[in-house]
């Protein structure tokens, strides 16, 4: 047995006191969000109607390298952080690999994922601005749960629009949010203009994330004292999530460990952007080199088969345009795909870094992902979320290549969460009824051809 423990925990006194703003070290900054009406960059004032002030500042600031984490947020972090950096001794043994595998586990909190890191920050700034509450949308429910927890802690009102099909199929997620005092409304609803319009036109619709976003934004901008918050894609979210990478790097530095490869799953980019932040910073500054790999589902392959262009962030086309790798906002991934990596686009920061050659991307199919999840669960004892399992599979593949080549690489991957609310998907896998879906080139040509015409 090596001297490196199974789990490396930092002391609370070692926890990061500032978030790291990756954009400060980028030569090519991520392109600005554009106002969909004028196609001009969104101003702080325009964004301020939707988001609270401090978050607008963080969203637009691509030069300040560090943001101090307010003491109140650090106190909240202490309830579930520092999260463990785990040496996957049992997985290494199972794979008979000379590679050393580490994972940063973000599932040790009731929200079941890393989403809480940004939820508490966004709720804190809303509270500090004197707001009454926040609105948001949720699909699978991880983000909604995290936000409910943060708002319960701060005594802030929390209104969640949950895609109707999820509301009905994931009643337990809904109950967790209610236990934390959030109001959860199936979307589309009669509570908003946009919801009523959609219901009038499509009375039997099961809803969509795009529609839920529209409802949440409408409630935020029409109710004094409310703002809208979002759990991924945005620069501010990557800033808050940098706590993952900062802790991981500090824990590795403590034992003199340097990763060769860093792997994370990528939906909107919140986890990957957070995990890689300080490593990518070193890479951008020319201080160190790392291979950085984004893993995405073959059913929704924004990086590997998308195009780098301005596009809407929502299917309803009411939100600002972002320059990103996208499959087109009209692209709808197969409903049979499990998990939260179904976003058609990608964080603008990660998109720019990928475009500039600072990171790689691979796509993997769902049944392989669940096969890896099952193997991981049995040897490492954690039931992983489907999203996280994309990273597990890529890390396992890397370790198997090391077995074949004899290389003793050090692999770090992000284990973003647990799969307690994904057991319908596990059941499909256990029953052998899970299928894979890969969009055809024609499918993608159609959705990409509908991109808005932006000359930037």
Q: How far is the CB of 434 from a copy of itself (least distance, A)?
A: 12
Distance CA 160, CA 270 (A): 20
Can you count the helices (H) and strands (E) in the chain?
18, 15
User: Please, which residue, 310 or 421, has the CB nearer to a copy of itself?
Assistant: 421
Alpha carbon distance 277, 352 (integer Å): 14
Q: Which is nearer to a copy of itself, 43 or 110 (CB)?
A: 110
Question: Is the Cβ of residue 171 or residue 406 nearer to a copy of itself in the bound state?
Answer: 171
Q: How far is the CB of 203 from a copy of itself (least distance, A)?
A: 27
Q: How far is the CB of 260 from a copy of itself (least distance, A)?
A: 24
Residues that bind a copy of itself (CB under 8 A): 1, 5-7, 9, 11-12, 75-76, 78-80, 90, 108-110, 149, 152-153, 171-172, 175-176, 178-181, 374, 377-383, 418, 420-421, 423, 426-427, 430
Closer to a copy of itself at the Cβ: 34 or 156?
156
Give the residue from 82, 92, 88, 94 showing the smallest Cα distance to 4: 88
Q: For 364-440, where are the alpha helices, taking DSSP H only?
A: 366-380, 386-405, 423-431
Query: How far apart are CB 264 and a copy of itself at their closest, in Å?
Result: 21
**Of the two residues 91 and 294, which places its CB atom closer to a copy of itself in the complex?**
91
Which one, 86 or 244, has the nearer CB to a copy of itself?
A: 86
* Closest alpha carbon to 138 in 336, 421, 379, 378: 421
- Min separation Cβ 337 and a copy of itself, Å: 18
Q: How many CA atoms lie within 13 A of 367 on its CB side?
A: 11
Smallest gap, in angstroms, from Cβ of residue 101 to a copy of itself?
14
Contact between residue 418 and residue 385 where contact means Cβ atoms under 8 Å apart:
yes
**CB of residue 371 vs a copy of itself: minimum separation in angstroms?**
11
CB 100, CB 408: distance < 8 Å: yes
E strands in 56-212: 66-68, 85-87, 100-105, 133-138, 157-163, 183-187
CB of 9 to a copy of itself, least distance (A): 5
CB of 171 to a copy of itself, least distance (A): 7
Nearest CB to a copy of itself, comparing residues 80 and 308? 80
Other C-beta atoms closer than 10 Å to the C-beta of 61 total: 15
**Nearest to a copy of itself of 241, 352 (CB atom):** 241
20 vs 22: CA distance, rounded Å: 6
Residue 98: exposure state from Cβ atoms within 10 A (0-12, 13-18, ≥19): middle
Q: How far apart are CA 309 and CA 351, in angstroms?
A: 10
Q: Which is nearer to a copy of itself, 7 or 401 (CB)?
A: 7
Half-sphere exposure of 16 (CA within 13 A, CB side): 27
């Amino acid at each position: 047995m090596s001297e490196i423990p199974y789990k490396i925990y930092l002391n609370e006194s070692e926890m990061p006191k500032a978030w790291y703003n990756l954009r400060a070290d980028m030569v090519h900054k991520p392109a600005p969000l554009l106002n969909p009406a004028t196609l001009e960059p969104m101003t702080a004032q325009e964004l301020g109607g939707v988001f609270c002030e401090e978050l607008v500042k963080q969203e637009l600031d691509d030069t300040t390298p560090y943001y101090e984490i307010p003491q109140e947020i650090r106190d909240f972090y202490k309830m579930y952080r520092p999260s463990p950096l785990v040496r996957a001794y049992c997985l290494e043994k199972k794979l008979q690999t000379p590679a050393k595998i580490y994972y940063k586990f973000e599932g040790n909190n009731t929200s079941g994922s890393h989403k809480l890191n940004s939820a508490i920050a966004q709720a804190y700034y809303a509270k500090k601005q004197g707001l009454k509450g926040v609105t948001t949308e949720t699909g699978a429910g991880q983000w909604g749960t995290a936000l409910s927890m943060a708002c319960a802690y701060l005594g802030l009102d929390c209104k969640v629009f949950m895609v109707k099909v999820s509301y009905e199929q994931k009643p337990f997620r809904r109950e967790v949010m209610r236990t934390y005092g959030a109001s959860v409304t199936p979307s589309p609803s009669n509570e908003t203009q946009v919801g009523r319009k959609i219901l009038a036109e499509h009375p039997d619709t099961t809803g969509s994330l795009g529609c839920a976003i529209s409802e949440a934004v409408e409630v935020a901008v029409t109710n004094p004292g409310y703002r809208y918050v979002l759990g991924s894609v945005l620069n501010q979210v990557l800033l808050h999530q940098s706590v993952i990478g900062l802790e991981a790097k500090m824990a590795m530095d403590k034992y003199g460990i340097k990763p060769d490869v860093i792997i994370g799953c990528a939906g909107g980019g919140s986890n990957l952007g957070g995990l890689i932040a300080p490593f990518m910073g070193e890479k951008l500054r020319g201080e160190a080199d790392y291979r950085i790999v984004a893993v995405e589902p073959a059913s929704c392959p924004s990086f590997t088969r998308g195009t780098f262009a301005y596009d809407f962030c929502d299917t309803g086309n009411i939100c600002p345009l972002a320059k990103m790798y996208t499959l087109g906002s009209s692209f709808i991934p197969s409903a049979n795909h499990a998990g939260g990596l179904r976003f058609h686009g990608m964080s603008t920061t990660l998109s720019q870094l990928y475009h500039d050659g600072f990171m790689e991307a691979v796509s993997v199919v769902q049944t392989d992902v669940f096969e890896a999840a099952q193997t991981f669960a049995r040897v490492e004892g954690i039931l992983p979320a489907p999203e996280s399992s994309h990273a597990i599979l890529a890390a396992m593949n890397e370790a198997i290549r090391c077995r074949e080549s004899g290389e003793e690489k050090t692999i770090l991957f992000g284990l973003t969460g647990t799969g307690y609310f994904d057991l319908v998907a596990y059941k499909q896998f256990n029953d052998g009824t899970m299928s894979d879906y890969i969009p055809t080139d024609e499918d993608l040509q159609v959705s990409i051809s509908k991109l808005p015409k932006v000359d930037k």
